[in-house]
Amino acid sequence: MAVDEALLEAMPRWRRPVLRFYGWTEPAATFGYFQKYAEVAERTLLRPLVRRPTGGGIVPHDADWTYSLAFPAGHDWHQLAAVASYQRVHEWIQAAFARLAVATELAPGARHTAPGACFEGYETSDVLWRGRKIAGAAQRRNKLGLLIQGSVQPPPVNLARAEWERAMGKVAQERWRMEWRELSAEAEFNDQVEALVTGKYARAEYNQKR
């Protein structure tokens, strides 16, 4: 979570989009910035619980493929309405799965079964596989740029995460002519991440502040 927030804060310096894929060393759950900790703690047994810098509901991170996207202010994605950027990122994910012969669809409407839980039911434009939600996202848009945090709960098919990540890159190259470069973060960025970890995301008083 600290790295993702630092990516957003770095957008005025870097002025280019960043796509980050990452995983988890142990089962955990993140929850939306505006959710109440006590309610979250009652709804999932996963620990630790970490408050995200974006909105949304509870996301389990026990077997998912996690990613984040950051765009600088003024970028086309930053200028989109929230519903439009939400749909676009899921069209991207859908196209990546299609390249791998996995058929999915975007939810035409919302179906809520457990309020506050991201993968119980679905929202409009979530990615569905055989009627089940497999991809959702949350956003934070401000004067610095746009941060999208997303989770893919992979369908039970013979598909490696690395294949999906490569497909995501290929789709972006074809649709938006993106040329991918490995990110080499400067010391200022790493220092900011460490400060966010120690001063915010690793602190119980922050995660439990509501």
> Which residues are catalytic, by number?
118
> For residues 66 and 22, is the Cβ–Cβ distance under 8 A?
yes
What's phi and psi for 97, nearest 5 deg? -65, -40
H or E element that contains 29: strand 28-31
Quick count: other Cβ atoms within 10 Å of Cβ 117?
A: 18
- Angle between helix 2-14 and helix 187-196 axes, rounded to 10 deg: 140
Q: CA distances (Å), 147 to each of 42, 53, 115, 125, 193, in order?
A: 28, 9, 23, 18, 15
Rounded Cα gap, residues 152 and 177, in angstroms: 24
Cα 185–Cα 168–Cα 140 angle in degrees, nearest 5: 60
